[in-house]
Amino acid sequence: MDSGLLIRQARVEDAGRLRELGVAGWETTYAGFLRPENRRAYLNGAFWSVERLSAISEARNCTTLVAEVEGRVMGFLTLEPHVSGDIELTRFYVDPKMRGRGVGSELWHAALAQLTAGGTRAILVNVFGDNRDGRRFYERLGVALIEETTSVVGDQTVYDVWYRLTVDP
Ligand SMILES: CC(C)(COP(=O)(O)OP(=O)(O)OC[C@H]1O[C@@H](n2cnc3c(N)ncnc32)[C@H](O)[C@@H]1OP(=O)(O)O)[C@@H](O)C(=O)NCCC(=O)NCCS
């Protein structure tokens, strides 16, 4: 990725744009395996609400990083505590127009650096099993597949996978 890219902590006022990026991700990448009414129902739920995204941006036990390209937020990720004691990557979206140009990798490496500095043991990632592009991204970075399962979105049962990466101290 060339210059013009800035990775920074999210601010509360970014929440609307984070939601927009999440919606764009669901409406492109997930359209092949999640029916429109189920995508819509999930996107209208608490997980993608501006209120929740604002709260996570401010929460001391969560991390939200954004990637600005020439002053515009074009990607972001959120990290939240998981019951296992690991940290979970809960949202990771790059604007469809900017994908495949290194923005996601920059965000990922910035997150890992922050987790390493904070003494985190491992990062967990939950991905829809049919999200081949997303899975390729993690696998290329050496993140290990640890579980294949299913989850429910609206009235659909979908193939679901978990990945884990041990964070080097
Ligand atoms: C996954 C994602 C965050 C990666 O960000 P990115 O900026 O596209 O990633 P980078 O440019 O740093 O890396 C490119 C790699 O990502 C993967 N990738 C995923 N989706 C891609 C896309 N639409 N175009 C190109 N590469 C994509 C590929 O493995 C690619 O590697 P390759 O060039 O060797 O094929 C982004 O593609 C995205 O928002 N996808 C949709 C939402 C999603 O799947 N999120 C993760 C779910 S947990």
Q: Please report, for the chain, the start and end positions of each structural domain, with discontinuous segments joined by +.
A: 5-166
Query: Could you tell me the distance, in angstroms and rounded to a whole number, from the CA of residue 93 to the centre of ligand 1?
Result: 9
How much is the pTM? 0.95
CATH T-level topology, domain 5-166:
Aminopeptidase (3.40.630)
DSSP-derived pairing of the beta strands 144-153 and 156-166: antiparallel
Q: Which candidate, 111, 115, 18, 103, places its Cα nearest to that of 67?
A: 103
With the most atoms of ligand 1 within 8 angstroms of its CB, the residue from 48, 74, 95, 99 to mutate is 99
Pocket test for ligand 1, best of 133, 153, 158, 164 (most atoms within 8 A of CB): 133
Q: How many CB atoms lie within 10 A of CB 71?
A: 8
Distance CA 125, CA 115 (A): 14
Interatomic CA distance for residues 103 and 74, integer angstroms = 8
Neighbours of 100 (CB within 10 A): 10
Q: What is the pLDDT along the chain (169 residues), one digit of tens a residue?
A: 656 899 999 999 999 999 999 999 999 999 999 999 999 999 999 999 999 999 999 999 999 999 999 999 999 999 999 999 999 999 999 999 999 999 999 999 999 999 999 889 999 999 999 999 999 999 999 999 999 999 999 999 999 999 999 997 7
The helix/strand/coil state of 18 is helix
